[in-house]
Amino acid sequence: MARTRDYSWPPAPQALPVSVTDNHTHLESLADVLHDGVELPGIDQVIALAVSCGVTKMIQVGCDLDSARATIPMLEAHQELAGAIAIHPNEAPLHSRTADLGPDGLEPTYAQRHDVSLDDALAEIGELAQHPKIVAIGETGLDFFRAGPAGQRTQREAFRAHIALAKEMNLALQIHDRDAHDAVVEILRADGAPERTVFHCFSGEEELARICNEEGWYMSFAGPLTFGANEGLRSALGVADPSLILLETDAPYLTPHPYRGRPNAPYLAVHTMEKIAQVRGLELVEACSLVQRNTQAVYGTW
Ligand SMILES: [Zn+2]
């Protein structure tokens, strides 16, 4: 008989010794990963739990038109939050009706928000991004796992439009790069990367980390850093310029070890933070201070 899988919230870890920031989380999506019988906490509760664990600031990422719109009132209601908004690479082809099948074989799923053209959606992101608590454009980039040739063409166009917007508005850029390292690097170099460019949920190995070191691009580490099989990712962290290392959860996805498969929230950034310290051979207090300094260099303070 199959063992019943545990979908409940992982326990709160011991608080970090120095406050840190989860620089990439999707608080409006918490319900997406919950199963029957598991309680959906309010955003107030989720933030309070993170703060009690030493994750005192968070960047809320709204990367489809609905969640970008929903991000603004969240920023206004919670002093712990700053925001990032964009049209995600898996959303852009839906707006331009160019979504096709990628290697993952998933059929595109249209929603009402996709009735807005890609140009109009991008224009709205530009308007929403004028809010003073928006600190980054993202997540944008390329996802070659979820797109075929037509979708990839649209992703490239949308990525370039987001790069231009981040530069024009002097905002940081958060990049989603799935199975597309070379193309992402090529576009950033061709167009000129924004001054503060972050590979969100960094998924490269040493080679990409060395390119980021050369270019001064930030590498943001999430739960996969703690997964047993990801030796290449830990090697990348091992060679990363210390001034370019950031921390995130990408919650509610990518729950760190040993809680994989259960819901994720910013309080669980503690486990990834501990792994960063361990891989870098730093005391936890030093590693937290380093990551927090880097976070403020990218996004400022709020
Ligand atoms: Zn994300």
pLDDT tens for 41-86 read 889 999 999 999 999 999 999 999 999 999 999 999 999 999 999 9
Q: Which residues surround ligand 1, an ion (CB under 5 A)?
A: 250
| C-alpha of residue 239 to centroid of ligand 1, in Å | 24
* C-alpha 224 to ligand 1 mean position (Å): 13
Task: Inform me whether the pLDDT recorded for 2 exceeds 70.
Answer: no
Compute the distance from residue 61 Cα to the ligand 1 centre, in Å. 7
Three-state secondary structure call for residue 55? strand
Q: How far is the CA of 63 from the centre of ligand 1 (A)?
A: 8
Sign of the dihedral through C-alpha 268, 259, 263, 295: positive
The correct CATH number of 20-299 out of 3.90.45.10, 3.30.310.50, 3.20.20.140, 2.60.220.10 is 3.20.20.140
Question: How many angstroms is it from 62 CA to the middle of ligand 1?
Answer: 9
Task: Write down the pTM of the prediction.
Answer: 0.96
pLDDT tens profile 99-149 = 999 999 999 999 999 999 999 999 999 999 999 999 999 999 999 999 999
Each residue's pLDDT tens digit, 79-92: 999 999 999 999 99
Residues making up the chain, counted from first to last? 302
Report domain extents, the chain. 20-299
Mean pLDDT over 204-233 rounds to 98
Report how far ligand 1's centroid is from the alpha carbon of 265 (Å): 12
- Cα dist from 98 to 28, 44, 66, 159, 272, whole Å: 27, 38, 20, 15, 37
